[in-house]
Amino acid sequence: MKKIVVLVSGGGTNLQALIDAQNRGELRGGKITCVISSRADAYALKRARKNDIPTRVVPRKDYPDNASYSKALHEALFQEYADLIVLAGFMTILDKRIIQAYKNRIINVHPSLIPSFCGDGFYGLHVHEKVLQRGVKLTGATVHFVTEICDGGPIILQKAVEVRNDDTPEILQRRVMEEAEWKLLPEAVSLFCEGRLTVCDGRAYIDYKEVSK
């Protein structure tokens, strides 16, 4: 069983999707062993505690910059023996210390079809605001490995979601979560934990061969 450590900062609906998948026995080959939050007041922590998942808080506000924060976070991840790190609405950019130490072992969920509407400043509700401003008819979600390029790592899974005329950012965010994020993230985590993902020349490949259980 791979040890999955989930990093959160807010509401934690993607964490909930992982917990639900685990409780249904659908998180194949892995177990959520710890949830680490960058904020003490994140609702995601309540979701973890309700499911008896150990939690830690490494508050972003206690550190002057990303480098010192990443050092503290790295220590926590090391102590938790993390095999896989999942960024589930984690709103801090990791520095290269962690990214290099966990190469191809950090997965992020992003609420758009990368390479559209991603990179610096594109996070949370802002992404959906920009999508609506631009008037695209399709958006979606992407799960990808994390590299030093913000939202630029190898893409594991993507799913398109329709944009409707009367959408608000909040309505669109909810549809993208329901139709894409909450499905893609547990699937990508399972594929990783089953050893069915490889990365070559900046691209992620899924092994669709039948795996022995």
126 is catalytic: no
Residue nearest to ligand GAR (CB): 89
Helices and strands in the chain, H and E counts: 7, 9
Instruction: Give contact residues for ligand GAR (rule: CB under 6 A).
Output: 10-14, 44, 88-89, 109-111, 123-124, 127, 177, 181
Counted residue by residue, the chain has a size of 213
Shortest approach of ligand GAR to residue 32 CB, angstroms? 14
Instruction: Choose between 12 and 154: whose C-beta lies nearer to ligand GAR.
Output: 12
Shortest approach of ligand GAR to residue 112 CB, angstroms? 8
Choose, from 110, 126, 128, 144, the residue flagged as catalytic: 110
Shortest approach of ligand GAR to residue 93 CB, angstroms? 9
Q: Which residue has the tokens 């609506």?
A: 132
CA distance 188 to 108: 10
Q: How far is CA 184 from the centre of its chain?
A: 10
C-beta of residue 180 within 8 angstroms of C-beta of residue 17:
no
The strand pairing partners of 31, in sequence order, are 3
CA distance 54 to 45: 9
Shortest approach of ligand GAR to residue 207 CB, angstroms? 26
The strand pairing partners of 109, in sequence order, are 143
Token pair recorded at residue 110: 């992003």
42, 45, 25: which is closest to 34 by C-alpha? 45
Cis upstream peptide for 115 (omega within 30°):
yes
Residues designated catalytic: 110
